[in-house]
Structure 1
């Protein structure tokens, strides 16, 4: 892939159906702002928009295009929480259960508020179900049901038996499911670009095709690109799995794992109803999950095969299609019109990484598959910290994250071995 190809979007369904294209200028000047955000994915754009709403002047510098990385390639599933809520609960301590419950849904609130306030057309729909791939997985779903009941969740939720799950998702492959209508699904690229447009409307300056070369630290740090720089009071590093800035502080903490999706041609009405009668986002309960949903124009978007080795499959369609057909054999004659992949930022303990270098360079990354919701939460927490409210920032910044020595390649091979164990356990359990 040459440099120009890298700076444009991958050939995904989302890129082909984006409501808007972006053509923000390259940074070719020296400017000043209250805050400079590095990265125009969900974390960076969410933080920039929050800061702009609070009156800060903000510049966003992006190496490629707005939503170029995982924010524009993911499964579009809006799921509550983080990948390790229990560790966060332990850190917050007794008496903070309600605070944590409210926090893990905060990303949903932010997204819904912005979709309404700014008129962002992103196909936001309610409904998500986690399905049990093994009978033994029902115990976890029962625990989730009890957790929701304990916290008196305001949206519909219910535990489904095998027949009810078959009726909900159109497949008899699963032993049960946990349905939550407070979760949902959306077109992630349209959401991210829509938020960027909203931020621009509030005065945020956005620069694309402007890779950051380094950050010059100081009382007012300076973010350098090849042709310009931004001097700011605070900097936010929001590149997640796609950046390599500040290696002394951040290398060996987040590992990029490949995840891959196929999109079918538009299905006819009867076929569409047969594969997803309730129009839900679906995720399996395996350690190596499959995830899927139907798009607003009636396509099956099926993803999975998370790959920690750093090597992409020779054919995404050949890798993913058999998994889809195991669940929905009636799709055997349907054409695959799009295939794409991207990198998920994985953290070993599954707790997002948040911190600060010196007094004024903040970072947030590593969402381990829960990015749509978690990025918006962390973007707001970073904005809070820049504004002087440190309570939630301190909870996350005080986590100790294990750093694998030997660089990213060594780390990915070790994680790949670990995930091979989980894949075997999925197969044998």
Structure 2
């Protein structure tokens, strides 16, 4: 039996969980109803949804359950997607945009149902606040709040600075858009809970089994170095880690590094003084900060981004300074751990879900907004495999273009674009 922190990227998430047995790697040739690539949230949700419908399902994971973004993310579960509803309206029209937003609410309801039904202990807390720093950001948030209430029947609360400071002890923000329906959780614990729920319904998960080839055809096949699985249907849920398995999918996402730090233990009283109602918080700058409290009274503080394979230089110091900017009263507190991983963004930040062939399905492009949306994705793909295509058809109407520049130039071009957005945040 191996400890989670020894075979996951070192993080507070991994180090705070008990040991997990290593599931056996794939060996030999097998057949099943559905084979899933990836044991992150998307793949596990698809496997669980399919098993609930009576399908035989196998999952192939290159590392451990939740090894990628699903076990390292900021833990904020938010209604919606990586783009705003006005972007969805531009892409698919008002009617489909409303459907897509309502589906995201279904995704949040599904997450909450699974936590309760399968008794997944992942330190869930209600509440999420989006906070502006500038007057421009505040105007945009207020307009968005009214739009969601009037045209999408989604009520949110606006807090002025005084109301916000009653819950959040930071001088940095001018107000807040508070969403009681969203919340936060321990990401790796949630992934492991989904895996246990799926296995309880007969799903077979193979860890340490990287897929080296997708063979398309009447009965598609996923191959590893030591075996293969043929199936009636295949689900591709590798997101930022496909690495040549489906090149036409990789051109439509960009792996972007994002980073999180865990402070030293603050103690219950000091931690609660920072965020009195225990909500998650994120600002609305392009290069945003997001933060929440952990179960052992640390501040978990995330942000920064890297468009190369390397973390930004001096990352721990940068993260510590940004934490102190938000909470000056923590000037004596440092970051005990800093870690990161890749999220997969699309050009329009909208989700990219659909079919590669009539029997090969995929979901990717969560654009940093995937804790709730990944559960929805798995359920939508399972419905389609079962012949219920209505929801997947709406997602497939979202147009997606490849990133310009190909594999060599797409990163420098994106860096240039991001520099403009950061400058805009600083000046407006």
Distance 1:163 1:393 in 2: 43
What TM-score, normalized to structure 1?
0.94
Unaligned 5+ runs, structure 2: none
Distance 2:215 2:201 in 1: 27
Could you say what secondary structure the match of 1:230 adopts? strand
Distance 1:397 1:141 in 2: 29
Distance 1:159 1:22 in 2: 46
Asked if structure 2 preserves the Cα contact closer than 8 Å seen for 1:63 and 1:211, the reply is yes
What's the offset of the Cα at 1:389?
1.2
Distance 1:308 1:97 in 2: 29
- Of 5-14 and 232-241, deviating more is 5-14
Equivalent residue, structure 1, for 2:411: 412
Equivalent residue, structure 2, for 1:181: 180
Could you say what secondary structure the match of 1:234 adopts? strand
Asked if structure 2 preserves the Cα contact closer than 8 Å seen for 1:256 and 1:310, the reply is no
Equivalent residue, structure 2, for 1:107: 107
Distance 1:313 1:92 in 2: 36
Matches within 5 A, 1:32-181: 32-84=31-83, 85-90=85-90, 93-95=93-95, 99-150=99-150, 151-153=152-154, 157-181=156-180
Equivalent residue, structure 1, for 2:300: 301
Equivalent residue, structure 2, for 1:351: 350
Could you say what secondary structure the match of 1:168 adopts? coil
- Superposed CA deviations along residues 383-420 of structure 1, whole A, max 9, x for unmatched, are 11111111221222233312135433421111111001
**RMSD (CA atoms):** 1.9
- Superposed CA deviations along residues 318-373 of structure 1, whole A, max 9, x for unmatched, are 12110000011121222422210110101111111122122111111011110101
Distance 2:125 2:203 in 1: 28
What's the offset of the Cα at 1:89?
4.0
- Of 358-367 and 97-106, deviating more is 97-106
Equivalent residue, structure 1, for 2:262: 263
What's the offset of the Cα at 1:290?
0.8
- Superposed CA deviations along residues 157-209 of structure 1, whole A, max 9, x for unmatched, are 31011222222211011111111111100001111110101100100000001
Q: Check 1:371–1:186 CA distance in 2 against 1; reply closer, same or farther (3 A cut).
A: same
- Of 407-416 and 184-193, deviating more is 407-416
- Superposed CA deviations along residues 205-252 of structure 1, whole A, max 9, x for unmatched, are 000010001011111011100001101000001010111244442232
Q: Check 1:19–1:49 CA distance in 2 against 1; reply closer, same or farther (3 A cut).
A: farther
- Superposed CA deviations along residues 269-316 of structure 1, whole A, max 9, x for unmatched, are 332122112211000010111111001111100010122244312343
What's the offset of the Cα at 1:20?
5.4
Asked if structure 2 preserves the Cα contact closer than 8 Å seen for 1:142 and 1:159, the reply is yes
Asked if structure 2 preserves the Cα contact closer than 8 Å seen for 1:37 and 1:58, the reply is yes
Asked if structure 2 preserves the Cα contact closer than 8 Å seen for 1:344 and 1:368, the reply is yes
Distance 1:380 1:144 in 2: 28
Asked if structure 2 preserves the Cα contact closer than 8 Å seen for 1:264 and 1:337, the reply is yes
Asked if structure 2 preserves the Cα contact closer than 8 Å seen for 1:168 and 1:278, the reply is yes
- Of 418-427 and 100-109, deviating more is 100-109
Q: Check 1:63–1:339 CA distance in 2 against 1; reply closer, same or farther (3 A cut).
A: same
Equivalent residue, structure 1, for 2:422: 423
Asked if structure 2 preserves the Cα contact closer than 8 Å seen for 1:37 and 1:235, the reply is yes
Asked if structure 2 preserves the Cα contact closer than 8 Å seen for 1:290 and 1:305, the reply is yes
What's the offset of the Cα at 1:7?
9.5
Distance 2:402 2:101 in 1: 29
What TM-score, normalized to structure 2?
0.94
Could you say what secondary structure the match of 1:105 adopts? helix
Distance 2:266 2:173 in 1: 23
Asked if structure 2 preserves the Cα contact closer than 8 Å seen for 1:7 and 1:65, the reply is no
Distance 2:214 2:232 in 1: 13
Asked if structure 2 preserves the Cα contact closer than 8 Å seen for 1:20 and 1:193, the reply is no
Asked if structure 1 preserves the Cα contact closer than 8 Å seen for 2:242 and 2:250, the reply is no
Aligned residue pairs total 423
Distance 2:135 2:232 in 1: 54
Equivalent residue, structure 2, for 1:402: 401
Asked if structure 2 preserves the Cα contact closer than 8 Å seen for 1:46 and 1:376, the reply is yes
